[in-house]
């Protein structure tokens, strides 16, 4: 699961929600082989926190994913990336 947070409402307006945010996350992790959904759960807060159910190929290095550069104003916390 990727927990996605915005630093403030300005960042939320800039990066957007839904498909726009999903496309951005795909671009951030473009060479990692991840499957990133267009639809995901979100909190009703402002700015919201989004919870993306991301899947990755077997053998994906979670540490490598955590070291990817994230644009300013956005944070992505990889909460659980275990085998299911």
Residues 6 or more apart whose CB falls under 8 angstroms from that of 56 comprise: 32, 33, 34, 35, 65, 81
- Per-residue pLDDT, 82: 62
Tokens encoding 69:
């550069």
pLDDT of residue 55: 93
Indicate if the alpha-carbon torsion angle 12, 80, 53, 64 is positive or negative: positive
Mean pLDDT per 10-residue run, the chain (84 residues)? Answer: 97 97 98 95 97 93 94 93 54
Count the residues in the chain. 84
Q: What are 1's two structure tokens? A: 């699961």
pLDDT at 80: 66
What is the domain partition of the chain in residue ranges?
A: 1-49
Phi, psi dihedral angles at 12 (to 5 degrees):
-60, -45
Q: What distance in Å separates the CA atoms of residue 72 and residue 11, rounded to the nearest whole number?
A: 8
């Amino acid at each position: 699961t990727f927990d996605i947070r915005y630093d403030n409402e300005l960042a939320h307006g800039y990066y957007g929600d839904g498909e726009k945010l999903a496309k951005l996350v795909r671009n951030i992790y473009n060479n990692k082989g991840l499957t990133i959904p267009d639809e995901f759960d979100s909190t009703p807060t402002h700015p919201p926190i989004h919870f993306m159910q991301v899947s990755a190929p077997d053998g994906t290095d979670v540490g490598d994913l955590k070291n990817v550069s994230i644009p300013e104003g956005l944070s992505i916390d990889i909460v659980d990336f275990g085998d299911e």
